[in-house]
A and B are shown apart, each in its own frame.
Chain A
């Protein structure tokens, strides 16, 4: 027995002493391999007497189990140590800059158009569109601009070269021709907004030859100027994301509406910022009115039966006011610095549920 005890002591000491898994394997083979010390002794059991075997059997099996366990334990310890050593050698300077994925921005005109669409769609407006190259009928005549009337001069119109039949196409000066296209093809009730590109032959600090408008049109049998006022006030509040907006409607003249009005909103200047909604100053932001009976008639609608309002405003200007963008001309310059500063994250899809903007 003492011999077995010695063997056990010896093996356990050797297991404890090994420094790596290879040396541990050597010890395992030396003890438990086919010709290992423990295995050799196990082989002798067959030649033993029953009594001897009764005594030595359990002793040897116990020894084998304890050595196996010791080896496994040592193996786990060595593996843990080896992993620690590897991890220790694998350290990087995590302050090194990682690669960045390029980030694109959405142009303010697109963003604000989608904001406007989000608000008006919640009020039941569809979104209509029409061509930029228009004819005289849709851009002027049907909208009650008499031929050669000075009102046409107010629109510095881009014309194309006359065609053989004398017709002269033009770039639409407003989104209003889409009113005509809609009313001629769709029966009331109509509730649409019309965003799009518009053009006037004008270029200075505050005018660009191309700009963006959004037009609104409601045609049914009962809509009046009170609805116009309510709709636009609700829009302004939602768009500028303020609790209340002070508005003022002033009579004005547009050939295609009667009565016609311009809407001002209250604002104040705080430092360099413009705060929309309150304050003693007024800023004109849109033109509007009740659709002129002649326009309704030009679209085949009886003005004694149908009525409604129309309005139009500048999308670029709305963007400038809301986001404090100083210069209209920069909108079309495609300067990366401007786009990165005033542009929007593509994930910021305007929605009334999340708030229009961050």
Chain B
């Protein structure tokens, strides 16, 4: 919302400087966004006088002028028809920036004649649309004076944010009231005086609502003014509107705009001769439509309040009027509408139609119902002043809503909520200055003014008092300590994410943060029913956004991997093709709170750099497995109890990927991503990834102490024995390892698989798995015979479990 300093001063008698006013606005909660003084923008333009204007020797329409300026006498070539001897003009010297044509002036030669600077039109100085000639300044102006003062633009424009709770500050009078309360001056807003009607209002006004819907427009007043002459509004009004960025149209329209900004009171003026029958407010009907003043046609439905007559819909109440009954220069008989419209309905209608008008903005936030009649009177006077005419009596349909709201208010609330000690006298003074009526019973009964629909309870009054006193007076207090030393604050889940994150970064992967939403097509490839058409699943789970920022960010992610692989590709596209990324963040398997789970996921694209000692091994499924285990271990999963199986979900390579389980619980997926899935996403493979489901890790049992079990380090030397077993190709190594480990649970303390061999000496379809078994004697050295017994057990168990044979 913009206003000029001079306009404010029509409501506020004050000697305060611009800076003080801006500071006070900020302090009371009117957040100033920008202060612009057009005089500063026009600082380069000064008064000059045309001493001589002669025809250009080589151009009919150009004149060569001698101009007296602050820089002395200058020769300027000018094309304006009004450039003539003796006028005072706006001079822009060489080097000045002319905003209207976006040019910094240089010395020029125009058709062979040198020209030093420019004499400017209104449009060139961005003071209006006029470009028929150069601006003429009153003769009294002295050469060298800044032009701004002489053009009436020496008036700072203040732009501030109107918060939704303060509809009264949509009018400049509302701003003035706050400033007066804050001690910046005296509120002098004039009260509109009723105009006596010269004849009865012939225009019938009606409200056609049911009992349930009458709140849509509780009151509708209006009157006829006949014999008006609509034309351009007076200069003062045009200047005012232009200064705040509005375009003057004609007097009748300008008056409604003026009242919107001066008093936050939208109105509508109809050409009364174009109305047929009773003008009335009612709800719209489906199928109706109307052509609005913005030249667009809008469809009406039964939720919207319309203004209509016998010809149909004339406008959307409180939003925008229609083309058919608008005022033109030919209009001589007008009907002024001043009504109340329901804020919520207005907001809905505005949102549905997409119309952003000053009227909608005001009505959806709340317009002072008590100002309906005064508003009509004020508008009537303005019309009569500018367009002449004779008013009828005012007509009223419905009842003006009573908006006075009483709040029971103990002044001690101020200290309770803010910690500020404010005397009851100051509380009363502030509330009264803001228009509240204070009855000092116990507790106080405070009546909110009709223009403050935001006031609901005690806390609102506390805010009124506190903001006028100023938040700079808030005391600085510390919360009381809860414990001498605070206890740990992170939940198990939070701590797991922290640990997984730091472990993965320490392991060489970079942490990224990517969108929670992604392309639905990519998401479909990574969801539980990817093979049965994942998009249906996404829809059924409620994971598709209705209004995504773009179509490629429309689905909540069921996995982080698509984002990671896309990020790997982007990095590869500018040359980083050896990279490992991870993210510890949520995925979504539905729209319920428990369908959001925390995942640590990572992906690698591996092209190890050459090194003089030999290249590192490129990533494979086992590197991804290590990554997963790093995250799992950090997050506290019992690694020794995990089982691996090769039934990874379909976005992984069917042969080179696996699942890590703890009993039936899936803790992780890992492996090479499916080449077909990567291709569908336009990603170059191979990419190896993992997904660790942090929330699936069981909660560790709470121990009563931090004590660890005693260390059992044997004095006796451990010994190792190697075994190789030839087994069928499809025997899983884990089966062998488990069997060997279990052969002598007490004494076998380690089994290390150190070789997988296929080829000469091993039949086709078979492989040889070699393990090193560590045997740790417990209380005495083992004899050769005892060791042989253990070895025999190992072989027996291994053979039994795998169907393999000891390789000899």
Contact = CB atoms under 8 A, between A and B. Distances in A.
* Residue of B467, B502, B580 with most chain A CB atoms under a 10 A cut-off: B502
A335 B570 contact: yes
Contacts of B584: 110
B417 A259 contact: yes
Interface in B283-316: none
Given A161-B539, A197-B516, A253-B166, A258 B576 contact: no
Contact of A107 (B472, B512, B580, B588): B512
Interface residues of A, number: 93
A3 interface: no
Given A106-B511, A132-B586, A147-B344, A346 B483 contact: no
Contact of B471 (A127, A168, A249): A249
A253 B163 contact: yes
A122 B553 CA distance: 39
B596 A226 contact: no
Contacts of A353: none
Contacts of B475: 226, 229
A226 B476 contact: yes
Interface in A95-126: 96-97, 99, 101-107, 109-110, 114, 117, 121-126
Contacts of B547: 158-159, 201
A133 B348 contact: no
B482 A124 contact: yes
A191 interface: yes
Q: DSSP class of B's interface residues: helix, strand, loop or mixed?
A: mixed
Contacts of A153: 347, 351
A334 B570 contact: yes
Contacts of A8: none
A203 interface: yes
Interface string B458-482: 1110110011000110111111011
A147 B351 CA distance: 13
Contact of B510 (A197, A227, A343): A343
A210 interface: yes
Contacts of B419: 224-227
Nearest to A203: B549
A158 B478 CA distance: 38
Contact of B474 (A130, A151, A249): A249
Given A104-B507, A203-B549, A150 B460 contact: no
B479 A231 contact: yes
A78 interface: no
A93 B477 CA distance: 65
Nearest to B503: A346
Contacts of B549: 158, 201-203, 209
B508 A307 contact: no
A151 B478 contact: no
A16 interface: no
Interface string B62-102: 00000000000000000000000000000000000000000
Interface in A178-236: 191, 197, 199, 201-203, 209-210, 218, 223-227, 229-231, 233-234
A80 B595 CA distance: 72
Given A160-B545, A199-B516, A121 B571 contact: no
Contacts of B576: 336-337
Contacts of B26: 250
Contact of A159 (B457, B476, B545, B580): B545
Nearest to A347: B506
Contacts of A201: 547, 549
Contacts of B471: 225, 248-251, 261
Interface string B660-700: 00000000000000000000000000000000000000000
A210 B28 CA distance: 32
Contacts of B163: 252-253
Given A224-B419, A231-B479, A122 B164 contact: no
A277 interface: no
Contact of A124 (B415, B481, B502): B481
Given A250-B27, A290-B417, A96 B612 contact: yes
A27 interface: no
A250 B31 contact: yes
A104 B506 CA distance: 6
B165 A253 contact: yes
A260 interface: yes
A158 B545 contact: yes
Contacts of A47: none
Interface string A139-156: 000000011111101100
B462 A258 contact: yes
A209 B545 CA distance: 13
B570 A109 contact: no
B477 A349 contact: no
A334 B489 contact: no
A107 B474 contact: no
A102 B611 CA distance: 14
Interface string B230-268: 000000000000000000000000000000000000000
B472 A248 contact: yes
Nearest to B506: A346
A132 to B, nearest CB: 6
A259 B415 CA distance: 12
A292 B462 CA distance: 12
A308 to B, nearest CB: 10
Contacts of A202: 549
A169 B479 contact: no
Nearest to B351: A153
Given A160-B543, A225-B466, A334-B571, A107 B513 contact: yes
Contact of B511 (A122, A332, A337, A339): A339
A142 B593 CA distance: 17
A303 to B, nearest CB: 8
Contact of A234 (B478, B507, B509): B478
B501 interface: yes
Nearest to A145: B164
Contacts of A253: 29, 163-166
Contacts of B486: 121-122, 124
Given A335-B571, A346-B505, A227 B478 contact: yes
A347 B507 CA distance: 12
A262 to B, nearest CB: 8
B416 A307 contact: yes
A30 B593 CA distance: 92
B483 A132 contact: no
Contact of B498 (A114, A168, A169): A114
Nearest to A224: B419
B12 to A, nearest CB: 19
B484 to A, nearest CB: 11
Interface in B482-535: 482-483, 486, 488-491, 493-494, 498, 501-517
Closest 9 CB pairs of A and B: A251-B29, A102-B508, A226-B419, A253-B163, A259-B463, A334-B567, A104-B505, A251-B467, A346-B505
26 contacts: A101-B508, A104-B505, A106-B505, A109-B513, A148-B348, A149-B164, A149-B344, A159-B545, A161-B546, A191-B479, A199-B516, A210-B515, A226-B418, A226-B419, A226-B474, A230-B477, A251-B463, A260-B463, A290-B462, A294-B456, A334-B512, A334-B567, A336-B510, A336-B579, A337-B576, A346-B505
Given A148-B347, A259-B418, 8 more contacts: A101-B508, A104-B580, A158-B545, A171-B545, A201-B549, A202-B549, A250-B27, A303-B459
Interface of B: 26-29, 31, 163-166, 343-344, 347-348, 351, 364-365, 415-420, 456-460, 462-463, 466-467, 471-472, 474-479, 481-483, 486, 488-491, 493-494, 498, 501-517, 539, 542-549, 553, 556, 563-564, 567, 570-571, 576, 579-582, 584-586, 588, 591-593, 595-596, 611-613, 616
Interface of A: 96-97, 99, 101-107, 109-110, 114, 117, 121-127, 129-133, 146-151, 153-154, 158-163, 168-169, 171, 191, 197, 199, 201-203, 209-210, 218, 223-227, 229-231, 233-234, 248-253, 258-262, 290, 292-294, 303, 307, 331-337, 339-340, 343, 345-347, 349
